[in-house]
Structure 1
Amino acid sequence: MLKSKRKRKEVFDTVLYTLPAIVLVTMMMYIPFIMSGYYSLTKWNGIAKDAEFIGLDNFVMIFSKSKEFSNALIFTGKYTLLFIIFSNVLALFLAVCLTKKFKMANVLRGVFFIPYIMSMTIVGFIWKFIFTQGFARLADITGWGIWDMSWLGDPKLAFYSVVLVGVWQSLGFYIVLYIAGLQAVPADVLEAATVDGATGRQRFFKVTLPLLGPSMTTCIFMSLTNGLKVFDIILALTKGGPGGSTYSVTLQIYKEAFQNNNYGLGSAESIIYFIVVLVVTQVVLKIFSSREVEL
């Protein structure tokens, strides 16, 4: 009898503490997602009382007539690829350096982490000032032509400028994750490799790097999702310009729904992008999880 009461109390407590979270998640995620699916089948400007049902016309338009969405998808793919590569390579390199014992190690860890805790919009405006005013001042001082280039006015340079700012802002977060992974590598395994005659480079590539599998999977997955949802930095830096060359998919959806007042087409684009992100993230997560080495 006592066990039965205790069990009922545990069930009641579980329901009581999880119900608010379930209600909030349902209201903030599931219901809007279902409504977005419905509006993707309609023509609606966000103001009219009733939405006109048009079936799959929005999806047909996206795949057959809309070049803006496909261009935004290509830009986002290229941005995400470079963001993943530079973020992880630089973060791993700096994490290895910062795990060495020297006086300024802890200070440098904090310095690299500071940009990550800043608002991405603020970071974007800071770098916009640097690209337009700071580099012009450096060009006057040094006379080097590289500082006098139109970093945000040239379509090709604007792309790399956005990548640079994105990597700079998030680098500290991945450094922290890699440092945690490096510190978790057993010292006796590295000592055994040294006794066997392995050089420093061999220890890193043959021992340390394979054991960093869980950290690498986490960092690559996080950088993948952050790259795919890039929005704030582009909005602050270029607003999609010049000539629409830096429009990400999220910015394209925002423009279509909230600037063009075409909520039906914007919802259709968001549904398509949701499927793309879901497939890509699951495939990448599966590939890297299968290559992890257990300690």
Structure 2
Amino acid sequence: MMKTRAFKNKLEMLVFVGPALVLILLMAEIPFVMSLYYSLTKWNGIGKTIEFIGLKNFTELFTADAAFWKTMLFTLQYTVFNVILTNVAAIVLAVVLTKALKSANILRAAFFVPYIVSLVIIGFIWKFIFTKGFEALFTLTGWGFFEWSWLGDVKLAFTSVLFVSVWQAVGFYMMIYITGLQSVPGDVLEAAEIDGATGLTRFFKITLPLLMPSFTIAVFLSLANSLKIFDIIYTLTFGGPGNATRSVTLDIYTEAFVNNRFGYATAKSLMFVVLILIITLVQVNFFKSKEVEA
């Protein structure tokens, strides 16, 4: 009887978990193993001839591809600014919109809507705004900053990409923080207020530490998404002006599908995956250590 029950449990697990495992194997694990092989080859991604060249792709990447490391520097700079600005803005909005405001639900929806719109569409919309829209506003108002080349100047292009990214994503992270704020025990806040902790003191000493689980999730997601930035840059600047906003993912895309160096692009991808893995693991472990319980 016990053996029959154990067999039924294993069969049920296989029936429910099996399809998911097969999909993960087909969609993730097997392509990853294939990528390991392609990173050691010279292949254009189309032809039938695949030449095995060992570690030459990685040697070239670390010794001869200065342009790639420039894109890495841009990606890291963008990531730092985007993670900080997005999470700070999201926390501020979450605190404001958890107050007893009549329009709180409308405002939450308004901030969240850009996140559910395709990044490609967002990019094209803002490209139109930065060019034609600002040109029309300059004609109407005469304000000089509307005449600036927001996508053509090196510093302004970085600012434009960063602004659009924060504007698009802040609503999602705002909802994470709103959920976290609503889970903070009210009696803890009342006790802190009785003890004389009010305003910013109560927020930084009581609320923020209890918000750390939400902070861990939000920073993890914003960090991973920032490192993988592609859509916004592809539609807004395509890495310009002069490759000033060229991200790692755009560089990999160009290497694979424009330069037709699929094997070399795969080597770059694997190196970048390892970097993302290291950064996210360090971030999660650090913030997990800072979490407290009410």
Q: Which category of TM-score, normalised to the shorter sequence, fits these structures?
A: over 0.9
Match of 1:56 in 2: 55
Cα distance between partner residues in 1 of 2:256 and 2:262: 4
Secondary structure of residue in 2 paired with 1:6:
helix
Secondary structure of residue in 1 paired with 2:6:
helix
Q: Which amino acid aligns with 2:84?
A: I
How many residue pairs get matched? Answer: 294
Cα distance between partner residues in 2 of 1:4 and 1:164: 61
Cα deviation for residue 5 of structure 1 reads 2.4
Q: Which amino acid aligns with 1:126?
A: I
TM-score w.r.t. length of structure 2: 0.98
Match of 1:261 in 2: 260
What are the superposed Cα offsets for residues 182-217 of structure 1, whole Å, 9 maximum, x if unpaired? 111100001101111112221111100111010111
Cα deviation for residue 138 of structure 1 reads 1.4
Cα deviation for residue 242 of structure 1 reads 1.2
Match of 1:41 in 2: 40
What are the superposed Cα offsets for residues 196-244 of structure 1, whole Å, 9 maximum, x if unpaired? 1112221111100111010111110010001011111111111111111
Match of 1:244 in 2: 243
What are the superposed Cα offsets for residues 12-31 of structure 1, whole Å, 9 maximum, x if unpaired? 01011111111111111111
Cα distance between partner residues in 2 of 1:193 and 1:278: 39
Match of 2:15 in 1: 16
Match of 1:214 in 2: 213
Cα distance between partner residues in 2 of 1:20 and 1:68: 43
Map 1:87-166 to 2 at 5 A: 87-166=86-165
Match of 1:289 in 2: 288
Cα distance between partner residues in 2 of 1:289 and 1:118: 31
Cα distance between partner residues in 1 of 2:202 and 2:87: 20
Match of 1:74 in 2: 73
Secondary structure of residue in 1 paired with 2:240:
coil
Match of 1:228 in 2: 227
Secondary structure of residue in 1 paired with 2:284:
helix
Cα distance between partner residues in 2 of 1:198 and 1:39: 59
Q: Which amino acid aligns with 2:142?
A: G
Secondary structure of residue in 2 paired with 1:101:
coil
Cα deviation for residue 43 of structure 1 reads 0.8
Secondary structure of residue in 2 paired with 1:290:
helix
Cα distance between partner residues in 2 of 1:176 and 1:116: 11
Cα deviation for residue 168 of structure 1 reads 0.7
Q: Which amino acid aligns with 1:85?
A: I
Cα deviation for residue 4 of structure 1 reads 3.2
Q: Which runs of 5+ in 2 are unaligned?
A: none
2:180 is aligned with 1:181: yes
Cα deviation for residue 48 of structure 1 reads 2.4
2:84 is aligned with 1:85: yes
Cα distance between partner residues in 2 of 1:279 and 1:256: 24
Cα distance between partner residues in 2 of 1:159 and 1:263: 28
What are the superposed Cα offsets for residues 61-117 of structure 1, whole Å, 9 maximum, x if unpaired? 111111221011111101111110010000000100000101101100000000001
Cα deviation for residue 47 of structure 1 reads 2.4
Cα deviation for residue 52 of structure 1 reads 0.9
Cα distance between partner residues in 2 of 1:63 and 1:151: 33
Cα distance between partner residues in 2 of 1:285 and 1:183: 22
Secondary structure of residue in 2 paired with 1:198:
coil
* % identity of equivalent residues: 55
Match of 2:191 in 1: 192
Cα deviation for residue 279 of structure 1 reads 0.6
Cα distance between partner residues in 1 of 2:193 and 2:15: 55
Q: Which amino acid aligns with 1:51?
A: I
Secondary structure of residue in 1 paired with 2:290:
coil
Secondary structure of residue in 1 paired with 2:44:
coil
TM-score w.r.t. length of structure 1: 0.98
Match of 1:274 in 2: 273
Cα distance between partner residues in 1 of 2:158 and 2:199: 37
Q: Which runs of 5+ in 1 are unaligned?
A: none
